[in-house]
Structure 1
């Protein structure tokens, strides 16, 4: 396996924002392993923070190997966590029927090949050749309305439950993960982020930030832009560049 540390640089950050009392997001930034993750917890109180933290802690322990081997291990890890969050922790929690779950978007890279895995509405973007591509597809009611009822994004956004998740770790007995494998090129910049970041920014703003000369500067521009506004949600991001 070609070690990715020689060619990939990254920067990561999370912020509570201006409204929420606590931060339920978590991230993993391990360029030497070619592994990056953003998780956005849900459930209120400490449940969301617990779920997102468990995800990043367990994924940090994934074994090395080829990209296909690591992808299998990552999937197995997330399915095991889905069972644990959906059953073991729920039935022993103090509150009746608590929600303990989290979105996840994870990126694995080995040399010139990458795999993105996600559940929920945390996203993966690619900035390549001056163009922004959204690689992940939200698992939300809003996206479902767009796909199934051919509504415009503006029409779907008016639904009162538009941002309700249709998939997440811990949200149901059966977890279905989406996986996208693709080639990475010199000069590519990738962004993993929670909805608290991208919902406050236009695609043009995202692209302008990712065009910065370094991952750390791109990250600073992203957070500065969001925190200049109301920043009603927790926000997290990892910027990765080859």
Structure 2
């Protein structure tokens, strides 16, 4: 997908089924002209996961682009809370099995003027490349991260837990949704990466940084997917790269 240049922000986005999965349950949104981008990684079986992630990006795409950051952030949050109610109640109840989960992670980036907000639930991530350094802005809502935070386990030990990748938050996972939000100033030269776990699990931090250091979003995207698909690529891969 070609990079889009509108106003000052440019972006490129891509998704791939990977080498093992039969279907792609990821979805992405790239609206540089509106300063809005998102990645969603569906869960609950092929059809349910793909439905949940698609619903998220479709609903976010319909949000109004007018207003300041706080107004737009409020609308985005309201949209995701509404989707959570819809997925956790209506769709789950009408599924063939009453205990079926229909849900998705989400990570969204909203930029208005010189301010940005990252909003997420689950383990899809938002990274910032600034001053030749890579920062992980989001913190995974997963059992692995919870074991690190609450029990003081080393990351490599927490990763060995049989349910390490289980999510502790997601859209549709429970009736009460807790979104995490990080706001920050944007600076010249900043680049952002939104991605599903299928992408970042196969790449080291220095590989992510080297890709984001390339001069255009499309070049960065090409590098990321070339390297990820050179690996095992056991999961669906999705990414959005955003830069001035």
- Contact kept? 2:26, 2:39, Cα under 8 Å: yes
Deviates more, 1:160-169 or 1:93-102: 93-102
Matches within 5 A, 1:33-182: 33-64=34-65, 65-182=67-184
- Contact kept? 1:5, 1:34, Cα under 8 Å: no
Find the aligned partners of 2:113 and 2:40 in 1 and give their Cα distance. Answer: 24
Find the aligned partners of 2:27 and 2:6 in 1 and give their Cα distance. Answer: 22
- Contact kept? 1:39, 1:52, Cα under 8 Å: yes
Find the aligned partners of 1:187 and 1:230 in 2 and give their Cα distance. Answer: 32
Q: 2:217 — aligned with what?
A: 215
Measured after TM superposition, the shift of residue 89 of structure 1 is 0.6
Measured after TM superposition, the shift of residue 45 of structure 1 is 2.6
Deviations 1:157-211 (A, max 9, x none): 0111001000000000100000000001111000000000000000011101111
Aligned residue-pair number? 239
Q: 1:25 — aligned with what?
A: 26
Find the aligned partners of 1:134 and 1:175 in 2 and give their Cα distance. Answer: 22
Measured after TM superposition, the shift of residue 5 of structure 1 is 3.6
| Matching of residue 184 in structure 1 with residue 186 in structure 2 | yes
Find the aligned partners of 2:228 and 2:64 in 1 and give their Cα distance. Answer: 35
Q: 1:231 — aligned with what?
A: 233
Measured after TM superposition, the shift of residue 213 of structure 1 is 1.1
Find the aligned partners of 1:239 and 1:94 in 2 and give their Cα distance. Answer: 38
Deviations 1:201-231 (A, max 9, x none): 0001110111111000000000000000110
User: RMSD of the TM alignment (CA)?
Assistant: 0.9
- Contact kept? 1:51, 1:85, Cα under 8 Å: yes
Measured after TM superposition, the shift of residue 111 of structure 1 is 1.4
Deviations 1:54-104 (A, max 9, x none): 000000000122111110000000000000000101111123321100000
Give unpaired runs (5+ residues) of structure 1. none
SS of corresponding position for 1:82: helix
Find the aligned partners of 1:208 and 1:59 in 2 and give their Cα distance. Answer: 30
SS of corresponding position for 2:119: strand
Q: Give the alignment's TM-score, normalised by structure 1.
A: 0.97
Q: Give the alignment's TM-score, normalised by structure 2.
A: 0.97
Find the aligned partners of 1:187 and 1:210 in 2 and give their Cα distance. Answer: 11
